[in-house]
Amino acid sequence: MITHGISNQTEPPQFSVSQNGPIQVICSSTPVTETALITFEGGGNVQPLPVPVPACFTTALFSPQWLTLIEAGAGGTGNFSNEPSPVTIIFTPASNQADITFGNPLSEVNFFYTSATPLTINAFDANNNLVATATGPSNAPPFNVFSPLGVNAGFNRITRITVIGAANQFGIDNLTLTRIREYFTMQAQMMSTP
């Protein structure tokens, strides 16, 4: 494992799901949309996420490559600061890419990231078709700048995202999931059909 990455963990992590508490999720809505903000607070240091994470109107299933990470200033091994919601983020210590799968289709997925290499997010629909993609430039080291990055599919089509970067060289925080309410989804689909 790289020791000068986003985590200063020098030994392979020992997993214990019981050490990871419930992950903080903040729900909000407007007449048009529903939003779930997953802050990752409540997660342990270098620990797997609960399976799945309940997120208001959907669930988020994080592939096993994702681990929660607490910043060093708060007692963890994270080599980062200035995250949008202190003190916990998620990262992939040994993989260049990782998935997040959603229980219900979403219109938009956003997060804040810090990364030593460019970071790409690919969004897929239920048939595994690529429906949106975005790439953000590197903004680290040091891992103290968190930039916004997201994908928008126009209406509720996103069932999975893949985040691609470099192992132990990126972290994300404040994952925001947006779903257009059903009435407005039907109207958007009718307007996009020729």
Residue 99 confidence class, pLDDT cut points 50, 70, 90? very high
- The answer to whether residue 13 is domain-embedded is no
Residue-wise pLDDT for 163-178, tens only, equals 999 999 999 999 999 9
In sequence order, the 6+-apart residues with CB closer than 8 A to the CB of 127 are: none
Among residues 153, 182, 178, 163, the alpha carbon closest in space to that of 56 is found at 178
- The answer to whether residue 140 is domain-embedded is yes
Count CB neighbours of 97 within 10 A.
15
Among residues 110, 108, 151, 105, the alpha carbon closest in space to that of 127 is found at 105
Domain CATH for 58: 2.60.120.260
- The answer to whether residue 2 is domain-embedded is no
Distance CA 16, CA 27 (A): 28
Residue-wise pLDDT for 9-24, tens only, equals 554 444 333 333 489 9
- The answer to whether residue 156 is domain-embedded is yes
- The answer to whether residue 4 is domain-embedded is no
Name the residue range of residue 73's domain: 28-192
Domain count, the chain: 1
Full-model pTM = 0.86
- The answer to whether residue 14 is domain-embedded is no
| Dihedral (Cα; 147, 140, 122, 88), 10-degree rounding | -70
Please name the residue ranges forming H helices in the chain: 182-192
- The answer to whether residue 145 is domain-embedded is yes
Cα 60 to Cα 36, 130, 151, 165, distances in angstroms: 10, 19, 16, 20
- The answer to whether residue 114 is domain-embedded is yes
Distance CA 169, CA 42 (A): 22
Residue 181, classed as helix, strand or coil, is coil
